[in-house]
Amino acid sequence: MKKTIFFTCVIASVAIGAAVLSQLGLGGGERTVIGNGSVSALGRVARATDRLPPSVLSYPFAARNFASKDGAGARLLKTQDSLQLYAVPGKGGMLCLVEVDELAGTAGGACADRAVLRTGSIYMADRQEDGSRQVVGLVGDGHTFAEANGKRTRVENNAFVLPNAEGTGFTVGSPEATQTVDLGD
């Protein structure tokens, strides 16, 4: 029950953020184009590790947002310690980022129009005990890094993890272009 409540709270806050992010990514003339919006990780042959955990598929979030009820087409993008990041095809051309932390027993997700990936990221920012945030994100081909607090991490397999991000934003980009993503509050 506690896990379901946590997931519901995470989904509600992330859905609002994703909606705002989607609008900014689609409507802003000031947005810097970084890539073409493709996600090459989704084009590779599926592996057994790409299957979403059954607990994730049982959440109402999955039924409302995933293109198929079994999460078909999902790809495991990144594993870091007990954290796993997945890309999942969503309804209506959307794309979803799902994070699962087996050790903490938590999961969360965010979905946005794929066009967001040309200029920014589909992301989640989890508040940590020290007040910082752990930002996880899904970016399109062409993005090579994510950065916060002057610390840069490489984008690998269309995903990144920024631990201990402080402030109100982070940057994604490539050697040719960058874009700052506002985390709000």
Number of domains in the chain: 1
Residues 176, 145 contacting (CB under 8 angstroms): no
Q: What letter would DSSP give residue 90?
A: B
Is 19 a residue whose pLDDT tops 70? no
Report the percent of the chain where pLDDT is more than 90: 70
Is 9 a residue whose pLDDT tops 80? no
Helix H or strand E segment including 65? helix 60-65
pLDDT in tens, 50-107: 999 999 999 999 999 999 999 999 999 999 999 999 999 999 989 999 999 988 889 9
pLDDT of residue 14: 41
pLDDT of residue 30: 66
Buried b (16+ CB within 10 A) or exposed e, 47-75: eeebbbeeebbebebbeebbbeeebebbb
Mean pLDDT of 164-176: 92
pTM of the predicted model, to two decimals? 0.83
Owning domain of residue 56: 2-182
pLDDT of residue 85: 98
- For 134, the token pair is 């752990």
Of the candidate ranges 9-23, 24-38, 88-102, 121-135, the one whose mean pLDDT is the lowest? 9-23
pLDDT in tens, 113-136: 999 998 889 999 999 999 999 999
Q: Per residue, what are the HEC states of 5-46?
A: HHHHHHHHHHHHHHHHHHHHHHHCCCCCCCCCCCCHHHHCCC
Q: What letter would DSSP give residue 85?
A: E
Please state, rounded to an integer, the average pLDDT across all residues of the chain.
Answer: 85
**pLDDT greater at residue 114 or residue 3:** 114
Using the structure block, give the residue that is written with the tokens 């000031």. 30
Is 17 a residue whose pLDDT tops 90? no
Q: What letter would DSSP give residue 148?
A: E
Pairing of strands 159-165, 169-173: unpaired
pLDDT of residue 36: 82
Residue type, 22: S
- For 177, the token pair is 């272009």
- The two most distant CA atoms of the chain are separated, in Å, by 47
